[in-house]
Amino acid sequence: MNEPVFTLSAGPTTAPDRVLAAQARPITYHYDPAFLEGFRRTERKVAELFRTRQDVLLMQGEAVLGLEAAARSLVRPGMPVLNLVSGVFGKGMGYWLAAFGAELHELEAPYNDAVDPEEVDRFLAEHPEIELVAVVHCETPSGTLNPVGEIGPIAKRHGAMTLVDCVSSLAGIPIWPDEWQLDVCVAGPQKCLAGPPGMSLMTVSDDAWSAIRANPAAPRASFLSMLDWKEQWLEGGKFPFTPSVVDVHGVEAACDVILEEGLEASFERHAQAAAACREGARAMEIDLWPVSDEVAAACVTALAVPDGLTDTQVRDHCRARYGVMISGGQGAGNLVRIGHMGPTARSLYPLLGLAAVGRTLLDLGAPVKLGDGLEATLQALSKIEQVV
């Protein structure tokens, strides 16, 4: 099987050359003083991306590890928890919260829409016992974004902590734990940060640490333990186990790339790439999955698959025929997704994605206005000050 020519998936995504090169750096012993320095430097760089003064944890394992660790650490059996659901990742978090013993409440939005912060406010007012609100920032499977910047302060005002899945946001969409008063955030390096999958980049507030320390059910002496990292590493300088040296090298380089570019510049090009992609899709007469541009995420554009076709057909034809790897719906619906993450959120990548999807749809018998769509995408890109 040939390697893909272009990876425009919803993550793991195309990584910059500097990240790849960093992953080829010699592997060192984890207690080598140069590695210890590098690990701490990486923590600080991740903190810069979050603009936070909270503790940063670099846990080993794809973001699912961080989410599970956070949920297990925060949820005390019997704890009243509000889970906000607007997609499959939110839904999945609910299963975990319940499994870990929470008294689970859920507010649901359709999977092509976002949670309404006023509804959250009302619910919390009616349920002052809620101690924790769980929310997904970007529901990557359906390309939508929840207003975490509004939800965080609401929760805090009602005395509840927040557990935020911002796996695909970091470095591409603003996510500010301090300003938004978020307690635990879990991001992944393999999305807008364009690093290697394999780590959970987390922020933890003092409130969260207090709750976790007080929670007898919080994992201890476990690969899933946030407390081990806090007590052994952050406070004691000893790793709970061998960190994944290669991923750490990759994550640091990915942070460097974004920090040198500037966070604002990165946010802007993610937003512009997504807007140009939506513009093109509309002109091509492909339905956008999100109910409105307001709820559409900047890191991925979800396109409805026309009736009679499946996401898998489209994704597989696109890859097999044109060498372009996009993502399917991952359970969120009959949709395909073009990622705008890291390097693919610049230059002509949105055009590439649309061209591949559009031509694929034609090949599979679905009518699309291919030329109009591509022209519209380029038109949108041509108006951007700096696409490179």
Residue 154 belongs to what H/E stretch?
helix 148-157
Total site size for a copy of itself, rule CB under 8 A: 91
Rounded to a whole number of angstroms, the minimum distance from the CB of residue 373 to a copy of itself is: 8
Q: Answer for the pair 103, 80: CB distance below 8 angstroms, yes or no.
A: yes
Instruction: Supply 312's token pair.
Output: 């898998």
Select 94 or 152, whichever has its Cβ closest to a copy of itself. Answer: 94
Phi, psi of 351 (to 5 degrees): -65, -45
Phi, psi of 336 (to 5 degrees): -120, 160
**Residue 237 engages a copy of itself in binding (rule: CB under 8 A):** no
165: left (phi over 0), alpha (psi -120 to 50) or beta: beta
Stretch that binds a copy of itself, among 154-162, 286-294, 302-310, 378-386 (CB under 8 A): 378-386
**Residue 365 engages a copy of itself in binding (rule: CB under 8 A):** no
**Residue 359 engages a copy of itself in binding (rule: CB under 8 A):** yes
Tell me, residue by residue from 93 to 112, as one string, x for binding to a copy of itself by CB under 8 A and - for no binding.
--xx--x-------------
Alpha helices in 221-369 (DSSP H): 226-228, 245-261, 263-284, 311-322, 349-363
Contact residue for a copy of itself among 80, 231, 343, 366 (CB under 8 A): 343
Distance CA 70, CA 22 (A): 29
**Residue 358 engages a copy of itself in binding (rule: CB under 8 A):** yes
Per-position DSSP letters for 17-28, written without gaps between them:
HHHHHHHTSPP-
Closest by alpha carbon to 339, among 261, 266, 270, 243?
A: 270
Stretch that binds a copy of itself, among 47-55, 128-136, 299-307, 353-361 (CB under 8 A): 353-361
Pick out residues in 305-334 that bind a copy of itself (CB under 8 A): 319-325, 327-328
Rounded to a whole number of angstroms, the minimum distance from the CB of residue 255 to a copy of itself is: 16
Pick out residues in 129-148 that bind a copy of itself (CB under 8 A): none
Pick out residues in 9-68 that bind a copy of itself (CB under 8 A): 9, 11-15, 17, 19-21, 23-34, 37, 60-65, 68
Q: Answer for the pair 199, 218: CB distance below 8 angstroms, yes or no.
A: no
Q: Determine whether 366 is exposed, middle or buried from the number of CB atoms within 10 Å of its CB (0-12, 13-18, 19+).
A: middle
Contact residue for a copy of itself among 224, 277, 300, 314 (CB under 8 A): 224
Stretch that binds a copy of itself, among 134-142, 195-203, 206-214, 292-300 (CB under 8 A): 195-203
Contact residue for a copy of itself among 106, 178, 268, 375 (CB under 8 A): 375
Select 113 or 247, whichever has its Cβ closest to a copy of itself. Answer: 247
Which 3 state secondary structure label does DSSP give 320?
helix
Select 174 or 240, whichever has its Cβ closest to a copy of itself. Answer: 240
Distance CA 56, CA 45 (A): 10
**Residue 244 engages a copy of itself in binding (rule: CB under 8 A):** yes
Pick out residues in 199-218 that bind a copy of itself (CB under 8 A): none
Select 120 or 193, whichever has its Cβ closest to a copy of itself. Answer: 193
Distance CA 131, CA 124 (A): 10
**Residue 351 engages a copy of itself in binding (rule: CB under 8 A):** yes
**Residue 352 engages a copy of itself in binding (rule: CB under 8 A):** yes
Rounded to a whole number of angstroms, the minimum distance from the CB of residue 81 to a copy of itself is: 17
Q: Answer for the pair 81, 103: CB distance below 8 angstroms, yes or no.
A: yes
**Residue 387 engages a copy of itself in binding (rule: CB under 8 A):** yes
Rounded to a whole number of angstroms, the minimum distance from the CB of residue 34 to a copy of itself is: 5
Per-position DSSP letters for 32-81, written without gaps between them:
-HHHHHHHHHHHHHHHHHHT--SEEEEEES-HHHHHHHHHHHHPPTT-EE
Which 3 state secondary structure label does DSSP give 347?
coil
